[in-house]
């Protein structure tokens, strides 16, 4: 139980540290964060020390010492001190978890980048971990280490010479209590700190093979240039962590995800996350099952606040398909539509190929292509449930209504009519709804467009193509986040004072080279 608790706390602190930047920057109008060049994912130098078997890896490219003051400098005068304290609290708590005092032990010499990793250990009460910190130039690190250690206490488990492969690198230790020590090593401008000296030994002995290089790792999948760099980089195995801590509730089906590599950036009014998700599968999906043809939405101010674009929805909702990311995409759609996810919506998803567009204003409607929608199958489902079809002329629209009469079992024994679907069709499109209001004034020409400039030639095919795009306004975003445990925890820590982001955009893309065990996730969260 101690192992599970330790693992959960360390993982939680890392995730909450990221969320600190996200939500503090939103709720306190952070005006500037320097942007990285438009380059692909590039882990810092400290990553080369991280062993490959880590379950959670977190990198940063901003000096943790200046972070509270940096964020404070861009706040309103009334909130400067509060924000500084909150940011410092999250940072300092992270270091206290591994028995270090950031202000006293670390702040005077730490550099602009670092890495942290956690390993599951079944043999110890506490999980193993390693932290790598850059050292500022012109710092006498030996003097700083003496201040941290107090006195050198050499662990008996370290080799007799206390050296790694006869190099100048020495592992020294600091005793925390009678049963526990933490270990330090100074190597080429970086300080390695770990719960176990063997981790440091392994890192230094296999330095060349330990480099975290996602470009090389995923080169054969053409993923190397599709993930932009970030100030925070995270590599995590959700499946392992959720299994370890016994987490049963699973929003977005993340327990199916074997590995997630993501980069995180903050700009003036937007939080951006890009990630590549991999699944532990051995089979490949036939190429003929993949069809990329996601419709573009016109960028017009009158568009509804919430809409979702799905390519080939029956690939994820039909029983005839079994994608490794099928549950993940289904869960994203269900959670994004929340209470609007209805039986009619599910029936349409199961029987539609090509593009499907879900649009929500006061009520929702769906657009599908006639050539890609099995309307006969959908009508058969309605008929089996005793719904009858009738026609209605309304506002120059010819509508098809599926409804049925039933008895209301109360004292007055009244009849009631249930409308299952209202359908409008033109030469190319079906428009579906279950109420009259959204469909009566709707003009599909305001939403879809054919952009010939976006049609790519065969020799210009991108590495990824979108299969799902979600745009949610403030109310839907608030509903989704209020079901997300890290957000709930963070909001509680800040006294339930978080204001929901203005909107959120999510896109899911799959490799065009037909590897069904990888997908790309992009999240843009607009804060003002």
Please report which helix (H) or strand (E) contains residue 9, including its range: helix 2-27
d(CA 227, CA 464): 11
The model's pTM: 0.80
364-369 and 397-408: which strand pairing?
A: unpaired
CA torsion 377→380→384→390, rounded to 10°?
A: 140
Q: Which of 330, 335, 334, 331 is nearest to 317 (CA)?
A: 330
CA 144-146-147 angle, 5° bins:
65
- Which DSSP state fits 213? -
Q: Which of 459, 466, 462 is nearest to 507 (CA)?
A: 466
Q: What is the pLDDT along the chain (528 residues), one digit of tens a residue?
A: 444 444 444 455 455 555 555 554 444 444 445 555 557 778 888 988 988 778 888 898 888 888 777 666 555 566 667 767 777 887 888 788 888 889 888 988 999 999 998 886 555 545 788 999 999 988 888 888 888 876 544 444 445 444 555 456 788 888 888 788 899 999 888 999 998 898 998 888 877 555 555 455 544 444 556 678 888 888 877 777 666 555 555 656 666 677 788 888 876 667 788 888 887 765 555 444 555 567 666 655 456 789 999 998 988 888 776 777 888 888 889 989 988 999 999 999 999 988 899 999 889 999 999 999 999 999 999 999 999 999 999 888 899 999 998 877 666 667 788 899 999 998 889 999 999 988 887 876 666 655 444 444 444 556 778 889 999 998 888 888 877 766 666 666 556 666 678 889 999 988 776 666 788 889 888 876
- Tokens linked to 410: 């109360």
d(CA 476, CA 461): 34
d(CA 133, CA 426): 63
- Report the 3 state secondary structure along 229-281: CCCEEEEECHHHHHHHHCCCCCHHHHHHCCEEEEEEEECCCEEEEEEEEECCC
The answer to whether 265 and 230 have CB atoms below 8 angstroms apart is yes
- Tokens linked to 84: 């500084």
d(CA 397, CA 252): 39
Q: Which of 108, 393, 123, 428 is nearest to 295 (CA)?
A: 428
d(CA 195, CA 7): 13
Write down the H helix ranges in 42-171: 67-72, 80-96, 141-149
């Amino acid at each position: 139980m101690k192992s599970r608790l330790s693992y959960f706390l360390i993982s939680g602190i890392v995730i909450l540290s990221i969320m600190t930047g996200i939500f503090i920057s939103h709720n306190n109008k952070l005006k500037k964060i320097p942007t990285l060049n438009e380059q692909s994912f590039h882990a810092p130098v400290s990553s080369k020390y991280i062993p490959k078997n880590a379950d959670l890896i977190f990198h940063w490219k901003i000096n943790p010492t200046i972070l509270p003051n940096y964020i404070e400098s861009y706040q309103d005068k009334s909130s400067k001190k509060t924000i500084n304290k909150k940011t410092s609290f999250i940072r300092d708590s992270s270091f206290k978890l591994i028995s270090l005092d950031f202000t006293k032990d670390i702040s005077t010499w730490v550099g602009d980048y670092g890495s942290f990793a956690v390993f599951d250990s079944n043999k110890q009460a506490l999980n193993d971990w390693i932290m790598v910190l850059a050292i500022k130039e012109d710092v006498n690190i030996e003097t700083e280490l003496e201040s941290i250690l107090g006195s050198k206490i050499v662990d008996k488990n370290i080799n007799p010479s206390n050296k790694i492969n006869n190099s100048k690198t020495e592992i020294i230790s600091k005793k925390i209590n009678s049963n526990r020590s933490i270990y330090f090593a100074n190597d080429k401008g970086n300080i390695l700190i770990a719960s176990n000296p063997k981790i440091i030994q392994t890192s230094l002995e296999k330095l060349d093979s330990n480099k975290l290089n996602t470009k090389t790792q995923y080169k054969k999948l053409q993923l190397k240039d599709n993930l932009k760099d970030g100030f925070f980089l995270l590599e995590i195995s959700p499946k392992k962590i959720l299994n370890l801590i016994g987490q049963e509730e699973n929003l977005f089906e993340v327990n199916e995800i074997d590995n997630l590599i993501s980069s995180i950036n903050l700009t003036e009014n937007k939080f951006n996350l890009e990630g590549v998700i991999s699944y532990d599968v051995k089979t490949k999906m036939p190429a003929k099952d993949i069809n990329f043809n996601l419709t573009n939405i016109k960028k017009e101010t009158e568009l509804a606040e919430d809409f979702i674009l799905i390519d080939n929805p029956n690939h994820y909702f039909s029983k005839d398909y079994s994608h490794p990311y099928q549950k993940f995409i289904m869960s994203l759609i269900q959670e994004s539509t929340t209470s609007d996810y209805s039986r009619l919506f599910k029936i349409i998803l199961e029987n539609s190929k090509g593009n499907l567009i879900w649009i929500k204003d006061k009520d929702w409607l769906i657009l599908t292509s006639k050539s890609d929608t099995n309307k006969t199958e959908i009508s058969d489902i309605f008929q089996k449930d005793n719904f009858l079809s009738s026609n209605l002329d309304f506002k120059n629209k010819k509508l098809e209504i599926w409804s049925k009469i039933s008895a209301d079992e109360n004292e007055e024994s009244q009849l009631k009519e249930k409308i299952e679907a209202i359908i409008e069709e033109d030469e190319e499109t079906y428009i579906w709804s279950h109420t009259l209001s959204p469909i009566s004034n709707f003009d599909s020409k305001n939403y879809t467009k054919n952009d010939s400039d976006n049609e790519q030639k065969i020799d210009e095919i991108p590495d990824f193509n979108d299969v799902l795009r979600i745009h949610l306004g403030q109310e839907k975003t608030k509903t989704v986040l209020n079901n997300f445990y890290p957000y709930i925890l963070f909001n509680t820590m800040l006294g339930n004072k978080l204001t929901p982001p203005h909107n959120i955009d999510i896109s899911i893309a799959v490799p065009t080279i037909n590897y069904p065990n990888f997908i790309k996730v992009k999240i843009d969260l607009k804060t003002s």
